[in-house]
Amino acid sequence: MAHISWWLALGCCCLIGFSSCSGEPPPPEGSLSPERILLVDDANVEVILEAPPKRILSLVPSATEIIVALGRLDLLVGRTDFDLDDRVLGLPSVGGGLGPSMERIISLRPDLVIRFRGESDPATPQQLDARGIAHIAIRPDRVEDVQRIIGLLGSAVAAPEQADSLRAAIDTELTEVSRQVLGTARPKVVFLGGDPPSVAGPDTFLHELILLAGGENAFADLGALYAPISVEEILRRQVDLILTPEGTPVPQALRRIPIHRVPLTVLTPGIRVGASARILGAMLHPERFQ
Amino acid sequence: MSQGRKAISTYLLLGSLLLGTWFLAVRFGAVALSGREFLGALCRAGSDPNRVIVMDLRVPRALMASLVGGGLAMSGASFQALLRNPLAEPYILGISGGAASGAVLVLAAGWMSVTSFALPIAAFGGAAVAIALVFGVALSSDRRMDVRVLLLAGVVVGAFFAACIALILSLAEAPTIRSAVLWMMGSLSGSTWWTVTVVAAYTVPVACLLVALARPLNLMSVGDETAGYLGADVEKVKRLAYGASSVIAAAGVAFVGVIGFVGLVVPHTVRLMTGPDHRSLLPLSFITGAAFLTLADLVARTVIAPAEIPVGVVTAFVGVPFFLALLRRSLRS
Amino acid sequence: MFDARDLVVGYGTARPPALTGVSICVPAGSLYAVLGPNGSGKSTLIRALLGSLPLTTGLVSVDGIPVGSWSRRALARSVGVVTQAESLTFPISVRDLVAMGRYPHLGPFEAERAVDREAIQQALTLCDALHLTDRDASSLSGGEIQRVRIARALAQQPRALVLDEPTASLDIRHEMGILGLLRDSADAGLAIILVTHQLELASQFADRLLLLNEGSVAAEGSATDVLNESTLREVYGWPIAVRKDPVTQRVSITPALARKPNVMSPEESSTTGNK
């Protein structure tokens, strides 16, 4: 009998010992910090940060750009292989934005990770949850997304005024572009990418840019975001202009239509939305943008 | 006797190879740790990042690689005996196609947000559908699991699922396609203690079952009729062995994607070393497969760190020349 | 040991049954030869006796127990079977191949014991295959592999042997050796069923013969009962002379030499006509 109780006592001590090794003790009640930040990300998930983050890892290049533009480069502790901004090249890389190296992430000890919303990389959020690392998901798909993300990140880094002024600057530039193309006839434009060529449909960023730049998307009735389209259909719609990224081959039959090569930076929504709209505007209405 | 001593030394050799591989897999990774930091990570408890890296990332990953690699090798050896075909491997009966279809469907439909287990469940479900189709065809004819019927059914079912995958991907968005392709090339990066436990719960009992079927599998290698006359309950052995091998293969695929080549090459390599007796072939294949995949995964995640090569690519690039060299040596002797 | 009554065995309803009304009784300590032309049902009979084929009607019992009630392992401990052919997928040593004969005596996790090693050794010696022990079975000649497979059946230490043309690839020395071995084994108490084409040797070594023709029994009994010219001519469709040496009592079977083409005597055409 004595043996059993001795073993039980020993067992209890071990259990207590192990459980106390597992992490920091919970905060005492009633000490919720006034610096608490509540974020609602693009997946409509509420993330509560007890204090403004001091070590941020952004897996989304456009978010990195935004944070730098908000003047908080000092909070960034890492980058991805796809971050091309000179100012962040000195930071250690964690690999790709999708499927980054978990080991590298852990070694950087971030208290906030910014990642892509969506199904492309299901493992990363699960791993981050398992380590108790806060993360927010963003999806910079459209122009309005950019504005919202600037606001979200502004709250996250406690720089709301800079966020507001950044948003205002973008709004101003977009409005300016719209004003400059006012009253022009809208050329029929198709955005072509990939091989076999896929076109951009409605609800895409490129569709919005085309509209902002004073054009009309010849495939505004497409049933998908991007879809491969036969060359015949493109010819049938009698497009006035083809926009295509640098380096994409254009099918022979379409070469008689004016082709404009679009720099790759224009293709993804980010803080340079205004400049992108201006570039496209100059392609569609060169006479208005001298 | 020399046979016994040879067996023991082979077990010791391969066992130490596996232990060595485990050590390397835990010591090295995308983050370089000095020897001191490594030892510190092992000894210190708590949420120190180095400890998390070693104990919560590398150790489960090495265990998962061992379980999946060993399971695939054992499953491959078993299929080679049952189908009496040296080219048989765990996916020969359409399991990889079925699992990939399930996974791609989940990825394309965006069901990952429902539960983190949606992907493995769907992949396992797809594999189960493939298994059911193939064995359904084989059992419906009067032939009762005839080898040729199984092989043909496997090829056809595999082709069908490949077409399903192609259809889904042709209508899917770019991120889905990327995820699907990467999944189909295999990756151990999502391994956690929890997934390791689940895979172990499948793999260990089923592996024991296969080892118990070692002698009947020896008999099956020389023909169903002879096996029956030498005491094997042929149909029962077939049901158990096909079932066990399929479950191991499906459980592996469900969590880590399609890792090819391990199930084909490891049994042949072990057979060249120790002969075709399944009593030694099966356990040694498990150990060798475990070591091989753990090592391949180590290479996959360190060579171009922090990016990772899909582990299926590494198993092919490393395994092919090694196996060819071994084959040439055995043909010469 | 083997007792079969009125067997009717078919391979499906579309074709006529492979065996009709066949009865055979093979007691312990006897050597029974099963003869007949190709397609007469010899292999079918073997499979039916061993419980591998479902019976349409009839009863087969082995050692008094219906064959369907035997577990495969128990049957394998009692009956050694040598089939006509088998396939080898992977390189395997002769010793490992013969060792399979001991499997019915071993549990799933049991290792080989001394008694098993002895049985294997002895079986290889009896079949003159001891020198082949470490060879790769797929490198052996047809005759060598056949002896190895007979050795495997012997390694089972069975009480009965069923062999389907076991001497087909063997040279004279080995053929006589194996048949002598079978005769000795029968004398020692085994029940042996031997399917063979060798009419002479069957008459020499077997106690009783069974001659099948198109699935039914054409003749059964001792060599003198079965091997007479008219029966053989009818069954084999070829004139065969049967002579008994008055001194040694050995029967010699001599098929007639090939006839000129397209010449058929009237009596032969009437007997060969109804097939």
Q: Output the DSSP codes for C60-88.
A: EEETTEEGGGS-HHHHHHHEEEE-S----
Paired sense of beta strands A135-138 and A112-116, if any: parallel
Say what the pLDDT of residue B140 is.
Answer: 80
Question: What's the mean pLDDT when you consider all of chain C?
Answer: 85
Q: Could you report the per-residue pLDDT of B29-72, keeping only the tens digit for each?
A: 888 888 888 888 888 766 678 888 888 889 999 999 999 999 99
The string of pLDDT tens digits covering residues C244-270 is 888 887 888 888 887 656 555 565 555
pLDDT at residue B1 tops 50: no
DSSP structure string for B46-82: SS-HHHIIIIIIIHHHHHHHHHHHHHHHHHHHHHHHH
Q: Any chain C CB within 8 A of the CB of B108?
A: no
What is the domain class of A10-15+25-170 according to CATH?
A: alpha beta
Q: Determine the Cα–Cα distance for residues B225 and B219; give it in Å rounded to an integer.
A: 10
Q: What is the ipTM of this complex?
A: 0.84
CB contact under 8 A, B230 and C100: yes
**What is the number of residues in chain A?**
290
Is residue A104 within 8 A of residue B30, CB to CB? The reply is yes
Tokens, residue A17: 């010992």
Torsion of CA A141, A146, A148, A149, to 10 degrees: 90
**What are C265's two structure tokens?**
């005597």
A151 touches chain B (CB under 8 A): no
DSSP SS3 for C12: coil
Decide: C116 and C78 in contact? Cβ < 8 Å.
no
Q: Which residues contact A103 (CB under 8 A, 6 or more apart)?
A: B29, B30, B31, B53, B57, B58, B306
* Helices vs strands, H then E, count in chain B: 15, 0
- H/E run at residue C209: strand C208-213
Q: Which residues pair with A245 in a beta bridge?
A: A262
- Interface residues of chain B, partner chain A, Cβ below 8 Å: 29-31, 45-47, 49-50, 52-53, 56-58, 107, 110, 112-113, 116, 119, 171, 173-176, 178-179, 182, 187, 189-190, 192, 301, 305-308
- For residue C219, give the 3-state DSSP assignment: strand
Q: How far is CA A124 from CA B116, B185, C181, C239, in A?
A: 11, 18, 73, 86
Q: Please identify which residue in the block is written with the tokens 């968005």.
A: B173
Q: Is the pLDDT of residue A52 over 50?
A: yes
Residues of B in contact with A100 (CB under 8 A): 306
Q: How far apart are the first and last CA of chain A?
A: 97
CATH for the A183-288 domain, from 3.10.520.10, 3.40.50.1980, 3.20.10.10, 3.40.50.850: 3.40.50.1980
Residues 125-184 of C with CB under 8 A from B: 152, 156
Q: For tokens 């040496």, name the residue.
A: C245
At residue A163, does pLDDT exceed 80? yes
Tell me, what's the pLDDT at B118? 82
| pTM of the predicted structure, to 2 decimals | 0.82
The pLDDT of residue B199 is 93
Distance from C-alpha of B274 to C-alpha of B287, rounded to nearest angstrom: 13
Check whether C201 has a pLDDT greater than 90.
Answer: no
| pLDDT higher at C94 or B35 | C94
Find the closest chain A residue to B29 by CA distance: A103
pLDDT of residue C103: 93
Which residues does B11 contact at the CB level (< 8 Å), separation at least 6? B283, B284, B287
Q: Is the pLDDT of residue C166 over 90?
A: no
Q: In what order do the strands lie in the sheet with A135-138?
A: A76-78, A56-58, A112-116, A135-138
| Tens digit of each residue's pLDDT (9 = 90 or more) over B190-228 | 888 988 999 999 899 999 999 999 999 999 988 888 999
Q: Which residues of A215-229 are buried (b: 16+ CB within 10 A; e: fewer)?
A: bbbbbeebebbbeeb
CB–CB of B246/B95 below 8 Å?
A: yes
Q: Which residue of C has its CA nearest to B228?
A: C72
Cβ-Cβ contacts under 8 Å for B263 (sequence gap 6 or more)? B72, B73, B75, B76, B79, B89, B90, B91, B249, B289
CB atoms within 10 A of CB C258: 7
- Comparing CB atoms, the residue among B85, B86, B275 nearest residue C96 is B275
Residues of B within 8 A of A99 (CB-CB) are 182, 187, 189, 308
- pLDDT the model gives residue A24: 43
> What's the pLDDT at A33?
59
Q: What's the CA gap between B46 and A133, in Å, rounded?
A: 15
Band (C275; pLDDT cuts 50, 70, 90):
very low
C101: nearest Cα among C127, C82, C126: C82
C101 pLDDT above the threshold of 90: yes
What is the reported pLDDT for C261? 60
Q: What percent of chain B has pLDDT over 90?
A: 47
Is the predicted pLDDT of residue A18 greater than 50, yes or no? no
**CATH 3.40.50.1980 intervals, chain A:** 10-15+25-170, 183-288
Residue among C128, C122, C147 nearest C137 (CA) = C147
* Environment class of A36 (CB within 10 Å of its CB; exposed 0-12, middle 13-18, buried 19+): exposed
Cα–Cα distance measured from residue C100 to residue B169, given in angstroms and rounded to the nearest whole number: 50
Mean predicted confidence (pLDDT) in B263-272: 91
SS3 for B104? helix
A28: pLDDT strictly greater than 50: no
Take residue B81 and report the two structure tokens written for it.
């005996």
Distance CA C167, CA B81 (A): 29
Whether residue B166 has pLDDT greater than 90:
yes
pLDDT for the residue C249? 78
pLDDT of residue A22: 37
Distance CA C28, CA B264 (A): 48
Task: Tell whether the model's pLDDT for residue C38 goes beyond 60.
Answer: yes
Residue with the larger pLDDT of the pair B198 and A251: B198
Say if residue A30's pLDDT is above 70. no
Q: Number of helices (H) and strands (E) in chain A: give both, helices first.
A: 9, 12
The single residue listed with the structure tokens 């002598």 is: C180
Chains that touch A (3 or more CB pairs under 8 A): B
Most confidently predicted of A85-89, A194-198, B186-190, C154-158: C154-158
Exposure string of C122-132, with b = 16+ CB inside 10 Å and e = fewer, is ebbebbbbeeb
pLDDT at C141: 87
Of A200-214, B273-287, C9-23, C113-127, least confident by mean pLDDT is C9-23
Q: What is the overall mean pLDDT for chain B?
A: 88
Q: How far apart are CA B82 and CA B76, in angstroms?
A: 10
Residue A81's identity, in one-letter code, is D
Q: pLDDT, tens digit, for every residue of B65-83?
A: 999 999 999 999 999 999 9
Q: What is the mean pLDDT of residues B277-301?
A: 94
Does residue A146 register a pLDDT over 80? yes
d(CA C10, CA A18): 72
Q: Do the Cβ atoms of B173 and A225 come within 8 Å?
A: yes
For chains B and C, what is the number of CB pairs under 8 angstroms? 77
A to C contact (≥3 Cβ pairs closer than 8 Å): no
Per-residue pLDDT at A223 exceeds 90: no
Question: Residue A21: its pLDDT value, please?
Answer: 36
- Are the C-beta atoms of residues B301 and B189 closer than 8 Å to each other? yes
